Chain A
């Protein structure tokens, strides 16, 4: 008996202590392996499932880079958009950012730059990428005259519509804002919900508000209100907020838009339930090259620039701006290699993104020499002749104010806030910061 007890004790202790040991062992993330190979950690947000084309292009570029640069290995991590944002943030608090990753411009950058997390990339632009970018894109990643991101995408927002649905219902495609409302009423009469809008993700509603503000108040009014040289209580901006509610009152948007995610609204547009959808060029592949979308639908989708409002406004002024760009971590162990990789990536991306993924890169594109879908070429031309591109409001603003903006947009669309209260909420949030 005695022996048995003792064995049991020893056994139990062994189990317990092995448990403790597991808890103690830490993985000391080796960055360079034994052979002296350098490893660049790279994190992006185009998972194979939802962004197959982007995903493949990235892998191609990495494979090419590794071939050309003996002894450098790129260690890849892929997350979807929202998870990516969360993880980036958590990694930054523990100072373990990947060597190269994706960031958004302007307001999103601020805390990271303030916390000294991102490396300035002016030297890379100066030596490798001079004049490569569309004017204004790299600048969106600049804070205090230093550039912290190399832009990859450039987006403009257009109103896409299903031409076939207009024809089938004998409704004219609207050319002005007033006609847009009339067409919507006509669709309502036929039991069709006119504009797909997923305002649970309120950046979608923000784009409508921004365009109305642009058409009514001109290109600068909103920008000035955000940078504090103007005010949200500017009559044009209050008027724009009123027009938003006018659209709501006329049943322009789908039922229950405030409870729908953008994905749900998108599926209403893509399944031919709703004839119109305001979205940026990142969705362009769905209407041109994406083989998973039925050809018939892709053929019937057309786009228009956001119309003039009461005859006012410049139709070649756009809402949009650079999407994601590359950053290099300030405390990276392989900073030089990381910068080199980032520059290489931007150059390769500029070509491959156009032909293979069908997105519009932030680098200049020579549309003539490439075989591109017609709609792509058209939008590229719009972009090249654009009189102005206003950066998405929620990107322009710092995160706290952006949250107020997005919440107020939802309230404005839901008519829980008057246009005046909407203006005041912005003024309060902006003056507090």
Chain B
């Protein structure tokens, strides 16, 4: 078997299908969307080459940067919420009663489709019939906010279901990482007189540092290209107050029939995400490899 696996021809042969798929489904569309960005095109008729005009317009587009700001806000919120997930995982991993059960409960939102989650929360946020405002009325608040209609609240109102949706995923990752730490290390620390908090912060956290840095990248990149819940809940409204980069791109390409400009925005989104990923990888890079 080893002999077979070191044969270059075979390596190429085995890699080919996956490479082919990625090329067709990811790299070629990427290049194409960059190319369409150079065109004045409604998506149906003839394309006219206009050089970098779309990209320049994109960079000067206030609405685009506004949506980018919202995307970055989401990224910041997701990153900070990782701390909460980490805390929950610490508790779950510390052999409390029913931790198995709780872990499964946290995972439920992961099992629902985004559209179902969006519909669920739209119903909860409904200003007249929603659960949330009914509760607020009950405790004596007369004019509860109209969550999804108020431009200064809507973005945060949508962040909550998004964070809720992914909580289980990150908790699962952290939980698995924490469970991976050999018991002997914890034991040793305990004998040396470390408190539970010290064990968590000084022993466990450094040991799962690599996992944390991966989740930060996942959270930030996922936030920057986030689309589905926002599209279903508000479609970026009211008046762009909850627009993110991906929903703005969709609106341009599919509602305004400005496919060329939409492609250019999509390409800018890619560039921004690449740069941010690169920076985070630089910042969170760990030199030493941890081996148990």
Q: Do A and B come from one complex?
A: yes
Residues of A at the B interface (CB closer than 8 Å) are: 5, 8-9, 12-13, 16, 19-20, 23, 86, 89, 92-93, 111-112, 114-117, 193, 199-200, 202, 254-261, 264, 268, 273, 398-400, 402-403, 407-408, 410-411, 414, 416-417
Decide if B182 is an interface residue (CB 8 Å cutoff).
no
By a CB distance below 8 angstroms, the chain A residues around B150 are: 256, 259
By a CB distance below 8 angstroms, the chain A residues around B21 are: 23
By a CB distance below 8 angstroms, the chain A residues around B42 are: 111, 114-115, 399
**Chain B: interface residue total (CB-CB under 8 A):** 40
Decide if B44 is an interface residue (CB 8 Å cutoff).
yes
**Are A256 and B256 interface neighbours, CB within 8 A?**
no
**Are A20 and B238 interface neighbours, CB within 8 A?**
no
By a CB distance below 8 angstroms, the chain B residues around A417 are: 239
Chain A residue with Cβ nearest B157: A259
Known: A258-B149, A259-B148. A115 touches B45 (CB 8 A): yes
Instruction: For residue A396, give the distance in angstroms from its CB to the closest CB of chain B.
Output: 15
Cross-interface CB contact of A399 among B1, B4, B125, B257, cutoff 8 Å: B257
In the assembly, what is the distance between CA of A254 and CA of B133, in Å?
Answer: 14
Q: Which of these binds chain A: B10-18, B195-203, B266-274?
A: B10-18
Please classify the interface of chain A as helix (H, G, I), strand (E, B), loop, or mixed, using the class held by over half of its residues: helix
Decide if B254 is an interface residue (CB 8 Å cutoff).
yes
Instruction: For residue A262, give the distance in angstroms from its CB to the closest CB of chain B.
Output: 12
By a CB distance below 8 angstroms, the chain A residues around B125 are: 259
Decide if B127 is an interface residue (CB 8 Å cutoff).
yes
Cross-interface CB contact of A258 among B20, B129, B238, cutoff 8 Å: B238
By a CB distance below 8 angstroms, the chain A residues around B257 are: 111, 398-400
Known: A200-B234, A407-B239. A111 touches B43 (CB 8 A): yes
Chain B residue with Cβ nearest A255: B127
Residues of B at the A interface (CB closer than 8 Å) are: 1, 3-4, 10, 13-14, 16-17, 20-21, 42-46, 122, 125-129, 146-151, 154, 234-235, 237-240, 251, 254-258
**Are A114 and B20 interface neighbours, CB within 8 A?**
no
**Are B20 and A20 interface neighbours, CB within 8 A?**
yes
In the assembly, what is the distance between CA of A326 and CA of B2, in Å?
Answer: 63
By a CB distance below 8 angstroms, the chain A residues around B151 are: 414, 416
In the assembly, what is the distance between CA of A264 and CA of B130, in Å?
Answer: 11
Known: A89-B254, A256-B127. A200 touches B1 (CB 8 A): no
Known: A114-B42, A399-B257. A16 touches B149 (CB 8 A): no
Cross-interface CB contact of A200 among B14, B129, B237, cutoff 8 Å: B237
Instruction: For residue A265, give the distance in angstroms from its CB to the closest CB of chain B.
Output: 10
Cross-interface CB contact of A259 among B1, B43, B154, B251, cutoff 8 Å: B154
Since A13-B13, A111-B42, A411-B238 are in contact, a sample of 15 more A-B pairs with Cβ atoms closer than 8 Å, ordered by chain A residue number, is A8-B1, A16-B17, A89-B43, A92-B43, A111-B257, A193-B128, A254-B127, A256-B126, A259-B147, A259-B154, A260-B127, A260-B148, A268-B128, A414-B238, A414-B239
10 nearest CB pairs, A to B: A256-B146, A259-B148, A256-B127, A259-B149, A115-B45, A256-B149, A115-B44, A258-B238, A411-B239, A258-B149
Chain A residue with Cβ nearest B125: A259
**Are B251 and A92 interface neighbours, CB within 8 A?**
no
In the assembly, what is the distance between CA of A399 and CA of B251, in Å?
Answer: 11
**Are A256 and B44 interface neighbours, CB within 8 A?**
no
Cross-interface CB contact of B258 among A260, A264, A400, A414, cutoff 8 Å: A400
In the assembly, what is the distance between CA of A116 and CA of B127, in Å?
Answer: 46
Instruction: For residue B106, give the distance in angstroms from its CB to the closest CB of chain A.
Output: 28
Instruction: For residue A98, give the distance in angstroms from its CB to the closest CB of chain B.
Output: 15
Known: A5-B1, A111-B45, A414-B238. A400 touches B148 (CB 8 A): no
16 intermolecular pairs with C-beta atoms under 8 Å apart: A5-B1, A20-B20, A86-B254, A89-B44, A111-B43, A111-B45, A200-B148, A202-B237, A256-B146, A258-B149, A259-B148, A264-B122, A399-B255, A400-B257, A400-B258, A411-B238
In the assembly, what is the distance between CA of A40 and CA of B81, in Å?
Answer: 54
In the assembly, what is the distance between CA of A403 and CA of B257, in Å?
Answer: 9
In the assembly, what is the distance between CA of A115 and CA of B41, in Å?
Answer: 11
Chain A residue with Cβ nearest B261: A400
By a CB distance below 8 angstroms, the chain A residues around B238 are: 199-200, 258-259, 410-411, 414, 416
In the assembly, what is the distance between CA of A256 and CA of B125, in Å?
Answer: 10
By a CB distance below 8 angstroms, the chain B residues around A264 are: 122, 126
In the assembly, what is the distance between CA of A273 and CA of B16, in Å?
Answer: 61
Instruction: For residue A25, give the distance in angstroms from its CB to the closest CB of chain B.
Output: 14
**Are B235 and A255 interface neighbours, CB within 8 A?**
no
**Are A114 and B45 interface neighbours, CB within 8 A?**
yes
In the assembly, what is the distance between CA of A8 and CA of B46, in Å?
Answer: 52
Instruction: For residue A106, give the distance in angstroms from its CB to the closest CB of chain B.
Output: 14
Known: A259-B149, A400-B256. A254 touches B128 (CB 8 A): yes
Cross-interface CB contact of B235 among A12, A20, A200, A408, cutoff 8 Å: A200
In the assembly, what is the distance between CA of A400 and CA of B256, in Å?
Answer: 4
**Are A403 and B255 interface neighbours, CB within 8 A?**
yes
By a CB distance below 8 angstroms, the chain B residues around A115 are: 42, 44-46
**Are A20 and B149 interface neighbours, CB within 8 A?**
no
Chain B residue with Cβ nearest A400: B256
By a CB distance below 8 angstroms, the chain B residues around A193 are: 128
In the assembly, what is the distance between CA of A5 and CA of B146, in Å?
Answer: 67
By a CB distance below 8 angstroms, the chain B residues around A93 are: 43-44
